[in-house]
Chain A
């Protein structure tokens, strides 16, 4: 532990942004930064603790959107009634996120800012067309969450930028689900995560489908060809099998044939099929 690190706890976004020089790192819940400090992988000389900024803790409905402050804790996402009813896929991701102690500390902004490919909040944020308000030296701007990741553990945020809040669009589709596969039931790092949304029209056909795959590629992303294929189809096992094959092909286009593919290819296919099944049985 280096002794020369400077610790600064601002109370406003503007103060924080002014303090975020190239040498500075952001700390909120600490669940990633404290590990980086311990291992020595954080090379900066200043920590900007953003937990004192009231604005980052907002969680409210606004028009047809839900605003989630970047400093909202994962446990709050899991237990909050507004999130559970309006953004169930996000609440489910929070429910499967690490253990209780980590959920009590970790923030949604940290999970996005850290940009780990397995970040469990990424698929639901993209599923709900999440847009982030980012504060920087030049003021504030809105950026789609999908564009906040530039690679594995590489955020597209620049030095001096701070995530303020996420604006999410709740969706009333009949099927909204998040599932992940890890090596154990709790406290598991996602090997595969999937957020899915689908609705049926009055003819019983899939009217719109959204599929967001996480943890398998450098960054979490939608699977557009899989979505297009599902749209307009009558739900059936054969259709789901074909969709699952398409999704695997889309993933391989991004990743190439990595050693883990022997496991991940059938795993993501089985998971997608299982998640789509309620379209046949229910709704």
Chain B
């Protein structure tokens, strides 16, 4: 079936198999290699993308449900050759080691800051609870998100 949707601000379309997951469709058909299939059963959050402003696990969503929706992936974070403040903050705070979980964390964090530009630490922790990182121990990631929220509010 043909899926037409908005991908990182551009109209896009691709052919999905019936019952294909959104993560396989986004990676294999649409070339969005930032979207990782980690556990495939909604436990790890590595496949997190933003659909209509909300963070979702793309492994648990059939590609068919992307029809007509607005989808954001990490490929769309960079603007005019500049990394997104979240990406800059992740690097600055060493919130990355192997990097496999990073796109999922970035998209979940972006959805949070889009709705709540000044979250408290416990709100960041609650929002990110669905993402697993086995390298960093999470503190650096939470620090990075709080730092990015400050930078974004100052409009730097």
- A residues near B (Cβ < 8 Å) are 1-3, 5-7, 9, 27, 29-31, 34-35, 37-38, 47, 49, 51, 75, 98-102, 104-105, 185-187
**What is the bound-complex CA distance between A6 and B62, given in angstroms?**
13
Point out the residues of chain A lying under 8 angstroms from B56, CB to CB: 101, 104-105
Q: Which residue of B lies closest to A104 (CB)?
A: B54
B96 on the interface (CB 8 Å rule)? no
Segment with Cβ contacts to A, from B4-12, B15-23, B87-95: B15-23
Q: Are A99 and B17 in contact (CB under 8 A)?
A: no
Are B18 and A6 in contact, with the CB atoms below 8 A?
Answer: yes
Main secondary structure of the interface of B (DSSP, over half): mixed
Work out how many contacts link A and B, with CB atoms closer than 8 A. 86
The answer to whether B64 touches A7, judged by C-beta atoms less than 8 angstroms apart, is yes
Query: Does A105 lie within 8 Å of B19, measured CB to CB?
Result: no
Q: How far is the CA of A24 from the CA of B140 in the complex (A)?
A: 46
Question: Which residues of chain B have C-beta atoms less than 8 A from A104's C-beta?
Answer: 54-56
Chain A residue contacts of B97, Cβ below 8 A: none
Does B70 count as interface, using CB distance less than 8 angstroms? Answer: no
Is B149 on the interface with A (CB-CB < 8 A)? no
Query: Are B42 and A101 neighbours in the complex by a CB distance under 8 Å?
Result: yes
B27: min CB distance to chain A, Å: 14
Shortest Cβ gap from B38 to chain A (Å): 12
Which of the residues B20, B43, B65 comes within 8 Å of A51, measured between beta carbons?
A: B65
Q: Which residues from chain B contact A29 at a C-beta distance below 8 Å?
A: 60
From A6, A35, A47, A105, give the contact of B41 (CB < 8 A): A35
Measured between C-beta atoms, what is the minimum distance from A2 to chain B in Å? 7
Q: Nearest Cβ distance between residue A187 and chain B, in whole angstroms?
A: 6
Q: A100-B55, A104-B56, A186-B126 are in contact. Are A34 and B61 (CB under 8 A)?
A: yes
**What is the CA–CA distance of A160 and B59 in the complex, to the nearest angstrom?**
27
Known: A38-B40, A51-B65. A98 touches B19 (CB 8 A): no
Determine if A7 and B19 form an interchain contact, defined as CB atoms under 8 angstroms apart. Answer: yes
Does B48 sit within 8 A of A, measured CB to CB?
yes
User: Which residues in B have their C-beta under 8 angstroms from that of A105?
Assistant: 56-57, 60-61
Q: Could you give, for residues 13-35 of chain B, a 1 whenever the CB lies within 8 Å of some chain A CB and a 0 otherwise? A: 00001111100100000000000
- Residues of A contacting B48 with CB < 8 Å? 101
How far, in whole Å, are A29 and B51 apart by their CA atoms in the complex?
A: 13
